[in-house]
Amino acid sequence: MICMDSKYIICGLIGSILFLIGDVLLGWVDYTPVGKKTFFYISSGHGKGYKRSKIAVTMILATLGIPFLYLGMVCCKEIITNNMWKDIISFFFALTSIAWFIIHIGVALNVHMYSWIAENISEKKAIEASRETNKIFSIMMIIAYIIVFASFALIIFVLANGWTTLPKHYVVFTPLVGTVLVGIVEKILPKSKVRKVAGTIQLNTGLIIWFGSLLFV
């Protein structure tokens, strides 16, 4: 049985954990929405009093995490037995690493802008600015999320068809399943900082479950 080299699995785990820490730094805030048509992630807790040093740390963690995540994601092709799908998975997972970075930097920049304007000008102007930047960022973010979820769906597809070295029941450990499970937990939690964080860490938790499961193959 040919499986991923454990060092690449560990790389994927390290990258996912670094991104998750950044998620927590951005997401541990008051859940209350700030208004319609603003950037989707912005909450009232990102306004006055939010420590923008957290954003700097988040961006540093994303920069450090992306090479680890890229190695882990691309090397997932080693579990694929079908040569055509091996190339497809390698391509989409490489794109996913790039999309991952875009999503995190996009969120961090929007949080920084909102926080700075709320602190130095007014909450009202911060909301107006967020609505304007949302017009620019929304398409980019949608494309990035489509790439991510397409990749997650593809790994389920090849697993379900038996085109991997893994048993079919490993479908339950795939990133999409982990993401959905955390999403369900988020929906049943009361509106709070915990709920905001749960929504923020969904994707990275899905990846941590995936890479963690591969260590035991």
45 assigned to some structural domain? yes
Structural domain of 70: 6-214
Q: Per the domain annotation, does 205 fall within a domain?
A: yes
Instruction: Look at residue 135 and tell me if it is in a domain.
Output: yes
Domain contains 105: yes
Looking at residue 3, its pLDDT comes to 58
**Among residues 161, 101, 23, which one has the least CA distance to residue 153?**
161
pLDDT along the chain (217 residues), means of 10: 77 97 95 89 93 95 96 92 92 94 94 96 95 93 96 96 93 97 94 93 96 91
B/e letters for 51-60, b = 16+ CB within 10 Å, e = fewer, are eeebbebbbe
The answer to whether 209 touches 9, Cβ cutoff 8 Å, is: no
pLDDT for position 5? 83
Number of domains in the chain: 1
Residue 1 is assigned to a structural domain of this protein? no
Predicted confidence at residue 27, as pLDDT, reads 94
Q: What is the CB-side half-sphere exposure of residue 208 using CA atoms within 13 A? A: 14
Which pTM does this prediction carry?
A: 0.93
Considering the domain boundaries, does residue 68 fall inside one? yes
129 is a domain residue: yes
